[in-house]
C-alpha cells in the first residue's frame, strides 16, 4: 500500500466500508469527506489502478453500472496499514 496515493488509499477504505460500492456511491462518499467535487476523470482512473494492483475487483451490475469489492489482498493491505498507523497513533492517545 506504500505505493498508493492518499486518494487511492481513501478510495480503498471507502470501498471496504460501503455496503454496495459502485462508482457513484464511492464518488458521493469521497465528495462528502473531501467537501469538494470529485471529477470522473480523477475517480475512475484511480479505481482502475486499484484493480490493476489486485487490491479491488471490478464487476458489472448492469450495462451502465460497475461494482467494486476489496480483494483478500486488499484487506490484508488495509490491516497492515492500520497496524502500522496504530503504532504511532496509540502513542498520542
0.85 exceeded by the pTM?
Answer: yes
Residue 63: per-residue pLDDT? 85
Rounded to an integer, the average pLDDT of 5-28 is 96
User: How do residues 19-47 score in pLDDT, each as one tens digit?
Assistant: 989 999 999 999 999 999 999 999 999 99
User: How do residues 33-92 score in pLDDT, each as one tens digit?
Assistant: 999 999 999 999 999 999 999 999 999 988 888 999 999 999 999 999 999 999 888 766
- 69: part of which helix (H) or strand (E)? strand 66-70
Domains and their CATH numbers in the chain: 6-92 (1.10.10.10)
DSSP calls for the chain? -TTS-HHHHHHHHHHHH-SS-BHHHHHHHHHHHHTS---HHHHHHHHHHHHHTTSEEEEESSSS-EEEEE-HHHHHHHHHHHHHHHHHHHHH-
Amino acid at each position: 500500500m506504500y505505493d498508493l496515493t492518499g486518494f487511492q488509499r481513501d478510495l480503498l477504505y471507502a470501498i471496504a466500508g460501503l455496503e454496495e460500492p459502485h462508482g457513484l456511491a464511492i464518488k458521493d462518499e469521497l465528495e462528502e469527506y473531501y467537501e469538494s467535487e470529485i471529477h470522473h476523470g480523477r475517480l475512475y482512473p484511480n479505481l482502475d489502478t486499484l484493480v490493476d494492483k489486485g487490491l479491488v475487483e471490478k464487476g458489472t451490475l448492469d450495462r451502465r453500472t460497475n461494482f467494486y469489492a476489496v480483494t483478500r489482498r486488499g484487506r490484508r493491505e488495509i490491516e497492515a496499514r492500520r497496524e502500522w498507523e496504530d503504532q504511532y497513533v496509540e502513542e498520542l492517545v
